[in-house]
Amino acid sequence: MAVTLATQAAQAAETDAPAGHQVATVFLNTTPQDSAAAIAGWRSRAAAGNAEAQYNLGQAYRRGEGVPADPDQAQSWYRKAADQGYLNAEAQLGLMLFTSPRRSESFSWLEKAATAGEPRAQYVLGTALFNGDGVAKDWPRAYAMMSRAAAGGLDAAKRSLATMETYINVADRQRGAALASALGANGAPAAAPRAETAVRAPASAATVHPAKVSAGSGWRIQLGAFGQEQAAQNYWTDLSRLATLRDLTPRFMPANGVTRLQAGPFPGKAAAASACAAIQKAGKGCFLVAP
């Protein structure tokens, strides 16, 4: 596989996490006994389905810390955590796949992580979109992704953004800035979760309250993730004017330092997919969330 600018970006991003998004392998630079105990603890919890432990095992196998380095094992554990929506695992799996012969599999994971506010994923996607590397060239989206990555504290993204501004015309930068704004102000610490918070609705609409999350409540869609719950509420207030969303219930779900904005329920996958398609047609981000 040829080494491209986006490949180099992904390789660098695997080890360059900004403040608040650090790559987490915990205290493995201690004694062999401590390392073995940490790995054993993670393995037990990972086997029971704990996403954080699965992610930490992936980190250990990728780095060769406490266990022999094994990229296949790393990807396997990352995937288990990513399948549960663990943000760092989604990003790390996407980055590993992007630098492998299986690059085509990387974009769905990078897109999920980028939409949820992960700066490394935004940086790599922005680079790929700018250069048309594995995806269609799209300078407004590239500018949006790189802007969010830079705002998230990634130094390499700040440098790339400055370079992009010498190539991208004003109109495309303005479109990119609007897209970046829609992604939300990620990277700041999430507000403390509250049991139920009223959403400030337009004057002509009733006040909306987020539903409590419960299992088996049908298909949902995710509309973004935000560093502060209030930002998610404000975004919902604007977005809920779309006819597609008018009768849906928002859910504000704090996890891994961000508040995820989801809406539903839908009676099935087809209905959720149809709503997502309409939202994406309006220029907004959206992906499906299974029951």
Residue pointed to by tokens 């201690």: 30
Mean pLDDT of the chain: 77
Residues 6+ apart with CB under 8 A from 150: 157, 158, 160, 161
Amino acid identity, residue 189? P
**Is the model's pLDDT at 49 over the cut of 80?**
yes
| Three-class DSSP category at 268 | coil
Give me the sign of the Cα torsion angle 239, 244, 249, 254: negative
> Does one domain contain both 164 and 48?
yes
Residue pointed to by tokens 């600018």: 5
> Does one domain contain both 128 and 232?
no
Q: What is the DSSP letter of 101?
A: T
C-alpha 270 chain-centroid distance: 23
Question: What pLDDT score was predicted for residue 118?
Answer: 92
Find out whether 233 and 202 touch, Cβ atoms under 8 Å. Answer: no
Looking at the chain, the whole-number percentage of residues with pLDDT higher than 90 is 34
Find out whether 252 and 232 touch, Cβ atoms under 8 Å. Answer: yes
Of the spans 107-111, 172-176, 184-188, which averages the highest pLDDT?
A: 107-111
| Three-class DSSP category at 113 | helix
d(CA 41, CA 50): 11
Backbone region of residue 20 per phi and psi (left: phi > 0; alpha: psi in -120 to 50; beta: other values): left
CATH number at residue 75: 1.25.40.10
> Does one domain contain both 178 and 190?
no
> Does one domain contain both 132 and 37?
yes
Q: How confident is the model at residue 219 (pLDDT cuts 50, 70, 90)?
A: confident
Domain boundary among 183, 210, 231: 183
Domain count, the chain: 2
Residue 125: both structure tokens together: 């996607």
Tell me phi and psi for residue 251, to 5 degrees: -130, 130
CATH number at residue 194: 3.30.70.1070
> Does one domain contain both 225 and 118?
no
d(CA 281, CA 109): 21
> Does one domain contain both 172 and 222?
no
Tell me phi and psi for residue 218, to 5 degrees: 95, 175
Q: How confident is the model at residue 191 (pLDDT cuts 50, 70, 90)?
A: very low
> Does one domain contain both 233 and 264?
yes
Q: How confident is the model at residue 198 (pLDDT cuts 50, 70, 90)?
A: very low
Find out whether 36 and 60 touch, Cβ atoms under 8 Å. Answer: no
> Does one domain contain both 203 and 162?
no
d(CA 234, CA 201): 9
Give me the sign of the Cα torsion angle 79, 190, 150, 18: negative
> Does one domain contain both 57 and 150?
yes
> Does one domain contain both 54 and 192?
no
Domain boundary among 183, 199, 220: 183
d(CA 203, CA 92): 43
| Three-class DSSP category at 29 | coil
Task: Please give the C-alpha separations between residue 200 and each of 94, 189, 208, 230, 255, in angstroms, as whole numbers.
Answer: 36, 21, 7, 10, 22
Domain boundary among 183, 207, 239: 183
Question: What pLDDT score was predicted for residue 84?
Answer: 95
Find the domain containing 87 and state its range. 5-183
pLDDT, tens digit, for every residue of 252-286? 888 655 677 888 888 888 888 888 888 877 777 77
> Does one domain contain both 88 and 104?
yes
> What mean pLDDT do residues 39-50 have?
92
Residue 30: both structure tokens together: 């201690």
Task: Please give the C-alpha separations between residue 211 and each of 24, 196, 217, 221, in angstroms, as whole numbers.
Answer: 32, 8, 11, 14
Q: Is the pTM of this model over 0.85?
A: no
> Does one domain contain both 59 and 198?
no
**Is the model's pLDDT at 208 over the cut of 60?**
no
d(CA 133, CA 268): 35
